[in-house]
Amino acid sequence: MSRGYRVGVIPGDGTGPEVVREGLKVLEAVREGFDVELVAFDLGAERYLRTGEVLPDEDLETMRGLDAIFLGAVGDPRVRPGILERELLLRIRFELDQYVNLRPVVRYPGVRTLVPSHAEGDVNFVVVRENSEGLYTGAGGFHRKGTPHEVAVQESINTRRGVERIVRYAFELARAPGRRGKVTLVHKTNVLTFAGDLYQRVVDEVAREYPAVETDYVHVDAACIYFLDQPSRFDVIVTDNMFGDIITDLGAMIQGGMGIAAGGNINPEGVSMFEPIGGTAPDHTGKDTINPLAAIGAMGMLLEEIGERAAASRVDAGIRFACSKLHSMRAGEMGYTTSEVGDLVVEGATAS
C-alpha cells in the first residue's frame, strides 16, 4: 500500500495563491510512491473582510489532524496591521506549538546576491529561530493610552523550557548529515542581560552533551556584518524570535532575495507549516511576475519533514536548474513568468 499524507493548503493573500499554485505543481511532478490529499483552507484577508472571521476554531482543529501545512502569505493593506499577522499566522504557530522557525540561507550556484565579491567563502547556513515566545507572545500593554503620559510595555518572555528546546534542536541539526557541526548563538548579551544570559547559559549546558559540536557567540548587530562579510563562518545559528525575524530578511538578501527564501514553522512532534518568507507582495499580485522559488523551496522542506527525502531532493535539483536559468530572483525581472519558473523547476526535477 502506498504512503499517504494529508496536507493543508492556505493560499492566503496577495501573491500567496500564485506561488502556492506553483508549489503544488512541483509537488505533483515529484510525487512518486506516495499520495497527497490536499485540504484547502479559505483563510486570509478576503475571508476576514467577508465574514469577520480570521481563524475559526474548527479550522484549527482540522489542522491538528494533518501531516503538514503549506502556506502562501497573509496580510493585506485593507486590514489593520496585526489582525491577520497575530490572529492567523502567529496563532497557528503558537497553537500548533511550531516552536522552531527553520530558515535555510543558501546561495545556489549562479545566483547574484548582496554578498560582495571579497567576502570569504560561500553562503550555506541555517537559522533556527525560536518561534513560540520572546517579544512575540503579546505580553505587555498600554497604560494611559492616547494621553501625553502614555506608557507602552512590550515584554520579551523567555522560558527555560522554550530556550532549551530550541537550543537542543540547533545542536541536533548541527550534527545532521550535510551540516558542519557548529552552533552560533546570536543574541545581544551585552545589553539584554537577562534573556541573553539565559540563552548563553543554556547553550553552554547543552554544549557539554555535544562535544563534537563547536559553539560560538556573535552579537546580533555584528552578525549583520558577518552575513555580508564572512557568511561562511555560520553553520547553524540559534536565536530568539525577534532577532531571528530580522536577520532572516538579511539572510534572504544574501541568498538572492525574498523570492528564493523558504522557511518552516516546525513542531518536531506535531504538525509543521511551510511558507515562503517574503510576504504578499501587493505590487505584483495577479501579474504572474512573482518569483515562486521560495514557495517551491518551502514545498521541498515540507517533503523533507514528512520523510519524503527522494521527492525533496528532486525539488532541490529543480530549484538549482531554475536558478541557472533565471536572470534575477526579483519579481518582474526573472526573464520568465511565475508559471514558467514553476515549469523550469519541474523540468529540472524530472530530468535524469
Residues that bind ligand IPM (CB under 6 A): 85, 89-90, 245, 277
Stretch that binds Mn ion, among 60-68, 122-130, 241-249, 316-324 (CB under 5 A): 241-249
- Contact criterion met (CB below 8 Å) for 291 and 142: no
Binding partner selected for residue 130 from Mn ion, ligand IPM, none, CB under the kind-specific 5 to 8 Å limit: none
Q: Specify the residue, 135 or 329, whose C-beta has the smaller distance to ligand IPM.
A: 135
Q: In degrees to the nearest 10, what's the CA dihedral of 231, 233, 238, 244?
A: -20
Question: Closest separation between CB of residue 168 and ligand IPM, Å?
Answer: 22
Residue 99 CA to residue 266 CA, distance in Å, equals 6
Name the closest residue to ligand IPM (Cβ).
85
Binding partner selected for residue 89 from ligand IPM, Mn ion, none, CB under the kind-specific 5 to 8 Å limit: ligand IPM
Question: Closest separation between CB of residue 75 and Mn ion, Å?
Answer: 11
Amino acid identity for residue 91 in this structure: R
- Contact criterion met (CB below 8 Å) for 154 and 264: no
Task: Describe the strand order of the beta sheet including 214-219 as a list of residue ranges.
Answer: 34-40, 3-12, 68-73, 272-276, 262-266, 100-106, 124-130, 236-239, 182-187, 214-219
Stretch that binds Mn ion, among 167-175, 198-206, 243-251, 304-312 (CB under 5 A): 243-251
Q: Specify the residue, 292 or 318, whose C-beta has the smaller distance to ligand IPM.
A: 292
Amino acid identity for residue 224 in this structure: C
Polymer length of the chain: 352
Binding partner selected for residue 85 from ligand IPM, Mn ion, none, CB under the kind-specific 5 to 8 Å limit: ligand IPM
Residue 182 CA to residue 124 CA, distance in Å, equals 12
Residue 142 CA to residue 323 CA, distance in Å, equals 48
Residue 206, C-alpha cell as written in the block: 547543552
Residue 82 CA to residue 71 CA, distance in Å, equals 18
Q: Specify the residue, 245 or 343, whose C-beta has the smaller distance to Mn ion.
A: 245
Choosing from 13, 76, 245, 275, the residue that interacts with Mn ion (CB under 5 A) is 245
Binding partner selected for residue 347 from Mn ion, ligand IPM, none, CB under the kind-specific 5 to 8 Å limit: none
Question: Closest separation between CB of residue 70 and ligand IPM, Å?
Answer: 15
Binding partner selected for residue 229 from ligand IPM, Mn ion, none, CB under the kind-specific 5 to 8 Å limit: none
Q: Specify the residue, 71 or 213, whose C-beta has the smaller distance to ligand IPM.
A: 71
Task: List interacting residues with Mn ion (CB under 5 A).
Answer: 245
